[in-house]
Amino acid sequence: METVVVTGVAGFIGSNLADHLLAKGYKVLGLDNFSTGKTKFLESANNHPNFKLIVCDLSDINSFKDSLSGYDCVFHLAANADVRFGLEHPRKDLEQNTLVTFNVLEAMRVNNIKKIVYSSTGSIYGESQIIPTPEDCPMPIQTSLYAASKISCESMIQAYCEGFEFQSWIFRFVSVLGERYTHGHVIDFYSKLKKNPNKLHVLGNGHQQKSYIYIQDCILGMMMGVEKADNKVNIFNLGTEESIEVLDSIEVIKEFMNVQPEIITQNSIRGWVGDNPLILLDINKIKSLGWMPKLSIKNGIQKTLEWLENNKWFFEDLEK
């Protein structure tokens, strides 16, 4: 595999992955519609001779199908990546995840591209009874439209592997932190505290235990899985071996920002409908290939905050 396509290339994970792949000598075709992606995330990639960018909308297969010709593998990262607001627009996860993934699979099929790497999510485990949750846990009940769309995508990918001799690497991430981080609890709290350093409202009681992974660890884990696993369908959790309470995350943020807000929590174990109060993935399967996350969750949060501090343009864009 030497030539690869990265969908969602201007996003948080996509742009970091593109930089990594280019540094490793791959020829990279990046696709993005810039609905949430940022041109600035591609500053480095755009200067690389092996990078080509096509602005297109994956919901229109004809806008990108022909451009895939000749590539070996697709890293399909483009997605609506928001788990929290699915109920406000129930069609969004279906359209941007399920239907787009089908288009990507069909575009691959007509171009005879057989390898797909897919960014799924630990959210598909719903509120698993088994913690840490392994890849082969009992069939879960879905608790969000986001995760429902991701399991739909996983399932279609698997069916293409069986039916059209594709090979797939499906990675179920916990939330990712680090440079170019674009949404999630760190930015929410950072943003709120920038506006008012004296008071911080928390969704839920703050005792939700979440797990996070640093972006570079995440990318090295994906590359390790792709290089070393060779089944028809290869599924790996990607996370750290720890979880952190929301209130403890806030401590890290307070310390970094040097603020002492009053913390106002709610009397519920979930922050919103579909919020999973306890996330911790079993990562033994990917570890058995020789991978280990290098950064702790605390370090990941700090890296994220440093990036936000050093990239005020992004934060200002967000506030517009």
Number of chain positions touching its own copies (CB under 8 A): 39
155 is an interface residue for its own copies by CB under 8 A: yes
106 is an interface residue for its own copies by CB under 8 A: yes
Residue (103 or 243) nearer to its own copies, CB: 103
Q: Report how far residue 90's alpha carbon sits from residue 82's, in angstroms, rounded to the nearest whole number.
A: 12
Name which of 45, 53, 135, 83 is nearest 275 in CA terms: 83
130 is an interface residue for its own copies by CB under 8 A: no
Among 142, 205, 209, 296, binds its own copies (CB under 8 A): 142
Q: Amino acid letter at 83?
A: V
By CB under 8 A, which span of 31-39, 130-138, 244-252, 278-286 interacts with its own copies? 130-138
Sign of the C-alpha dihedral computed for residues 118, 42, 219 and 293 taken in this order = negative
- Do residues 199 and 264 touch, judged by C-beta distance below 8 A? yes
7 is an interface residue for its own copies by CB under 8 A: no
**By CB under 8 A, what part of segment 51-70 binds its own copies?**
none
Residue (199 or 232) nearer to its own copies, CB: 232
Residues 69-98: x where in contact with its own copies by CB under 8 A, - otherwise, as a string: -----------------xx--xx--x---x
User: Which position has the token pair 């890849």?
Assistant: 135
**By CB under 8 A, what part of segment 258-277 binds its own copies?**
273-274
Residue 230 phi/psi, 5° resolution?
-135, 25
Question: Within 10 Å of residue 320's Cβ, how many Cβ atoms?
Answer: 4
Q: Report how far residue 129's alpha carbon sits from residue 132's, in angstroms, rounded to the nearest whole number.
A: 9
99 is an interface residue for its own copies by CB under 8 A: yes
- Closest contact distance (angstroms) between CB of 182 and its own copies is 24
For residue 29, give the 3-state DSSP assignment. Answer: strand
163 is an interface residue for its own copies by CB under 8 A: yes
- Do residues 277 and 246 touch, judged by C-beta distance below 8 A? no
Can you read off the two tokens belonging to residue 58? 């994956």
- Closest contact distance (angstroms) between CB of 138 and its own copies is 4
By CB under 8 A, which span of 21-29, 114-122, 162-170, 304-312 interacts with its own copies? 162-170
139 is an interface residue for its own copies by CB under 8 A: yes
**By CB under 8 A, what part of segment 232-261 binds its own copies?**
233
Among 158, 182, 209, 265, binds its own copies (CB under 8 A): 158
- Closest contact distance (angstroms) between CB of 14 and its own copies is 24
144 is an interface residue for its own copies by CB under 8 A: yes
232 burial (CB, 10 Å; 0-12 / 13-18 / 19+) is exposed
Residue (269 or 273) nearer to its own copies, CB: 273
Q: Report how far residue 293's alpha carbon sits from residue 221's, in angstroms, rounded to the nearest whole number.
A: 8
Name which of 85, 81, 90 is nearest 37 in CA terms: 81
Name which of 83, 84, 52, 92 is nearest 69 in CA terms: 52
Sign of the C-alpha dihedral computed for residues 88, 80, 182 and 62 taken in this order = negative
Residue (23 or 269) nearer to its own copies, CB: 269
By CB under 8 A, which span of 155-163, 193-201, 241-249, 291-299 interacts with its own copies? 155-163
Can you read off the two tokens belonging to residue 257? 């920002």
278 is an interface residue for its own copies by CB under 8 A: no
Pairing of strands 209-210, 244-245: antiparallel
Return the biggest CA–CA distance within the chain. 58
Binding site for its own copies (CB under 8 A): 86-87, 90-91, 94, 98-99, 102, 105-106, 109, 126, 135-145, 147-149, 151-152, 154-156, 158-159, 162-164, 233, 273-274
